[in-house]
Structure 1
Amino acid sequence: MNNKRTGLRATALFCVLSALSGCSQKFEDVQDTMSLALFGHDDVVVAPEKINSLPYASLYTKTDSSGQAFMVLGYATASPSSQPGSEKIVQLKWLSANNEMLVTEAGRIVKTVNLLGSNLTASSSLDADPLATGLLSGNTPYQWRRTVDWQPGFHSGYTLESRFEKTGENTLLVNEKPVSTVHFIEYVHAPELNIRFENEFWLHPVTGHVIASIQTPAPGMESIEITVLKPFSGVSE
């Protein structure tokens, strides 16, 4: 991931603390950890032992325009995009100290809130995301289509056509530990705009869960780099 780029800046503390009030978190731990984002350098780095000791999931994020931020899981609910007859997908809402939010499903960004520049407001498909059904499964199709909405500009209902390609195995350094991954590139085409871009995903070789990624949520948006430090392991509401 040498070309991974730089991200969401963490500043204000109290928005996250209030947003986490409905979760089973320890406030003293939340306040202590988020103060690192508030008073630290542009690239926030939290010690691995601190991350492991916190009672909630967390990740690092980056964009092209600012430094690394630390985000914590605020809410986990059943996704409305879960397909009938298949395993339910959990929708995760990650919060920064600046009240920025990333919403992910099976590792894919499906919505963003309060990001500078532009935000993905909706993402939908009639077919299950290959990330959710399992790219490592021999039965999962490597092609997919979805529609996205984003702002500013009230862009609505634009089609994104995807093709996935497995490129090989990589070892990443996550939380200061080497982690084996399987690397996929998602080639994305927006036919109405004649725009092409690529997403990258690094998957756990056994579970297929996304460990790290670089994603462009919608055409023209900044790419967002995500590294999962402590994955969500609970049960959705």
Structure 2
Amino acid sequence: MVLYKNLLVMCAIVFLTACSGTYRTYVEMFELALKPKPDAVLSFSELTSDNPDYLYAKLGDQPRSVMGLLFIEQDQFKWTSANQVILVTEQGRVVRTAGLENDLVYTSNTIADPVKTGAFANTSWGRMLDWEAGEYGYVVKSNFTVTENQFLTFFGQKVKVRKVVETLNYDNPSVYWRFDGVWQNVFWFDQASGKLLQSHQQLAPGMQPLELVFISEVARQLRKSGAQIAGDAI
């Protein structure tokens, strides 16, 4: 009888020890899943003219990733990431995507886009947009406001920029019941060269904003300005 009781106690100890180990494993996995992932980063020396162009892309609260320029075709820049998301831009404006939750599949009238022409004053821009989630042929109109002499900081250097706020709205009713028919994009242009350095673009109403930093262009403009930056600066 005593031997039987001792055996039960030993089995219970082994069981509890195993459960404790499993519990710790679950806790560690849970903590790992919740731990913020670091943003991707490139050093200044990695952004040389010998390398392809890069941009930083951050969708909503997701970690920032690096996208590389695949090729240029008919004034469209095609960028890709490690997880095979593709962005197509014209002068920095995203006009098409692949691999997102609700892809932007078509943008019309891009030739008149003020982001491309640089003419923002008293300008309204209309185009048609198609989204993969079943909305096609939507007319969207934009108006722009400009603020000069703003600053962004890259690699520890302040860069004077022109901030352009674009207010977008549906020009025709949505097929869905929604209250987000008006939204905004923001673009920051280098004030000296006019090159687009950074943008926040919401590609569809209700979609998380996409933050883009054209980090290779940033590095080019800093080099042209004569800024002294260590190669390992990030």
User: Shared fold (TM-score greater than 0.5)?
Assistant: yes
Gaps of 5+ in 2: 1-36, 221-234
1:113 aligns with 2:98: yes
- Contact 1:142/1:165 (8 A) holds in 2: no
Correspondence 1:51-200 to 2 at 5 A: 51-52=47-48, 54-78=50-74, 90-115=75-100, 117-125=101-109, 128-135=112-119, 142-152=123-133, 154-191=134-171, 192-193=173-174, 195-200=181-186
Q: What per-residue deviation string (whole Å, max 9, x for no partner) do you get for residues 42-66 of structure 1?
A: 4111222122365211110111141
In 2 relative to 1, CA 176–229 (structure 1 residues): closer, same or farther, beyond 3 Å? farther
- Contact 1:102/1:109 (8 A) holds in 2: yes
CA distance in 2, matches of 1:100, 1:158: 24
SS at match of 1:52: coil
Aligned-residue offset at 1:218 = 2.0
SS at match of 2:83: coil
Q: What per-residue deviation string (whole Å, max 9, x for no partner) do you get for residues 28-79 of structure 1?
A: xxxxxxxxxxxxx44111222122365211110111141100111001011x
In 2 relative to 1, CA 166–188 (structure 1 residues): closer, same or farther, beyond 3 Å? same
CA distance in 2, matches of 1:197, 1:127: 22
- Contact 1:175/1:229 (8 A) holds in 2: no
By percentage of residues, which structure has more helix? 2
CA distance in 2, matches of 1:54, 1:177: 23
In 2 relative to 1, CA 76–176 (structure 1 residues): closer, same or farther, beyond 3 Å? farther
In 2 relative to 1, CA 126–104 (structure 1 residues): closer, same or farther, beyond 3 Å? closer
2:43 to 31, 35, 47: 47
Aligned-residue offset at 1:177 = 3.1
Given residue 144 of structure 1, which amino acid in structure 2 is its aligned partner? W
In 2 relative to 1, CA 123–51 (structure 1 residues): closer, same or farther, beyond 3 Å? same
Runs of 4+ in structure 1 deviating by more than 4 angstroms, as ranges, are none
SS at match of 2:115: helix
Q: Report how many aligned residue pairs link the two structures.
A: 177
Q: Which residue of 2 aligns with 1:14?
A: none
- Contact 1:135/1:208 (8 A) holds in 2: no
SS at match of 2:214: strand
TM-score normalised by length of structure 2:
0.69
CA distance in 2, matches of 1:56, 1:67: 22
Q: What per-residue deviation string (whole Å, max 9, x for no partner) do you get for residues 2-44 of structure 1?
A: xxxxxxxxxxxxxxxxxxxxxxxxxxxxxxxxxxxxxxx4411
Gaps of 5+ in 1: 1-40, 79-89
RMSD: 2.2
1:217 aligns with 2:197: no
